[in-house]
Amino acid sequence: MKKLLLLCLGVLLVFGTVVFGAYEIAFIVKATDSDFWQYTIVGAKNAEHDLQGLVKVTVYGPPSEADIDKQVAIVEDVVRKKPDAIVISSTSSQATAPALNKAFQQGIKVILIDNFVYDTGYNSFLATNNKVGGGLAAEKVVELLKKSGKQLKGKVGLISSMAGVQVLIDRDDGFVAKLKELAPGLEILPTRYVDNDIAKAAAATEDLITAYGNDLVAIFADNNHTGDGVARVIEERKLQDKIIAVAYDSDPQEVEALRNGSLKALIVQDPHGMGYKGVMFAFMAIQGEPLPLYFDTGVYVVTKDNMDNLKWALDPFQRKRY
């Protein structure tokens, strides 16, 4: 099957490059400053590699996720260049809509990844269902508590990277809802927001430990930087057996923490897949193939036991083919 696909692609490649030249695909990320978006870029570039010259992927992105206006400006510039398709993870669910809609009207294919954008036409939306991911984290916490023979009582801390970001809100909501359902006896403490700063996440973790001591049985950190901060404190104080910490995303430090037990599980999305499929979907859209409007790229629960099998999910850089 795969061989057949490759063969078809090969034919298309020769044909395409001779007749049309490569399709221009603009790949716009939320930010260039984090591993997650770098992983999506690896995916996108791998797709470009696999399509062997049929498409040309150009990567754009503002320096930080907070730069909504900068991303809007980038989208406007890109639309002006009239690429064949735009693959975008939009920082805002609204702000980029006018520019994207204009592109869509002009016949440019629009593929949304990670974050939905309202009021624009689009060809497909690929994302992780973050509520499901948050729920999986809660399931893991309860499972591990039961496994360690503890009662489902005590306090659970929630450390969030930033307030007002939709994907984080979904993760936190999913976590809280599932935890309440599975273990009503656990008390969820007020969320701590830490400006996506590892040192602040560590400080917040220390303060939770100081304030609640042995009552604190679990912590959920909703992205990689918060996960790093939590893990750092647990490792330092050797609380691996006392506090069950589960975090979202993966970066080298989180992986290390998973190995040494400071974090018990990582909820990992498939950023590589998001980038890879985003570009593939864009190519298919250009070819006029029908696409699903929504595609769940899925989440994986990685623990110490299965981490060696899921290496590709933990560090997509290893999958670099170009």
Listed residue (227, 1, 242, 275) closest to 113, CA to CA: 275
Write down the least CB distance from residue 271 to other proteins, Å: 13
Per CB under 8 A, the segment of 44-52, 110-118, 119-127, 193-201 that binds other proteins is 193-201
Residue 7 in contact with other proteins, rule: CB under 8 A:
no
User: Applying CB under 8 A, what is the total number of residues that bind other proteins?
Assistant: 37
What is the chain's Cα-based Rg? 21
Q: Which two tokens stand for residue 289?
A: 């193939």
- Angle at CA 60, nearest 5°, toward 27 and 65? 105
Cα angle: 156, vertex 158, 267; to 5 degrees: 100
Min separation Cβ 84 and other proteins, Å: 27
Nearer Cβ to other proteins (196/297): 196
* β-pair partners for 1: none
CB of 229 to other proteins, least distance (A): 8
Q: Give yes or no for residue 232 binding other proteins (CB under 8 A).
A: yes
Is there binding between residue 198 and other proteins (CB under 8 A)? yes
Q: Which among 138, 237, 151 has a CA at the least distance from the CA of 188?
A: 138
Report the alpha-carbon distance of residue 86 to residue 123 in Å, rounded.
10
73 is an interface residue for other proteins by CB under 8 A: no
Minimum distance from CB of 268 to other proteins (Å)? 16
Q: Does 251 bind other proteins (CB under 8 A)?
A: yes
Contact between 208 and other proteins per CB under 8 A:
yes
> Smallest gap, in angstroms, from Cβ of residue 186 to other proteins?
15
Residues facing residue 154 across a β-bridge:
186
Residue 173 near other proteins by CB under 8 A? no
CB of 191 to other proteins, least distance (A): 7
CA 96 → CA 76, 113, 145, distances in Å?
8, 13, 43
- Minimal distance, residue 283 CB to other proteins, in Å: 26
Is 67 a residue that touches other proteins (CB under 8 A)? Answer: no
Distance CA 32, CA 63 (A): 5
Q: What is the distance, to the nearest Å, from the Cα of residue 214 to the centroid of all Cα atoms in its chain?
A: 32
142 alpha-carbon distance from chain centroid: 23
Determine which residue in the list 9, 33, 67, 300 makes contact with other proteins, applying CB under 8 A.
Answer: 33
Mark residues 89-128: x for contact with other proteins by CB under 8 A, - for none. Answer: ----------------------------------------
197 belongs to the binding site for other proteins (CB under 8 A): yes
**Would you put residue 52 in left (φ > 0), alpha (ψ -120 to 50) or beta?**
left
Q: Quick check: helix, strand or coil at residue 5? A: helix
Closest to 96 (Cα-Cα) out of 114, 126, 116, 125: 116
Does the footprint of other proteins cover residue 203 (CB under 8 A)?
yes
Minimum separation from the CB atom of position 189 to other proteins (A): 6
Is residue 211 within the footprint of other proteins (CB under 8 A)? yes
Ranges of H-type helices in 89-184: 97-105, 130-147, 166-182
Which positions lie near other proteins, rule CB under 8 A? 32-35, 37-38, 63-64, 163, 189-193, 195-200, 202-204, 206-208, 210-211, 225, 228, 232, 236, 251-253, 256, 317
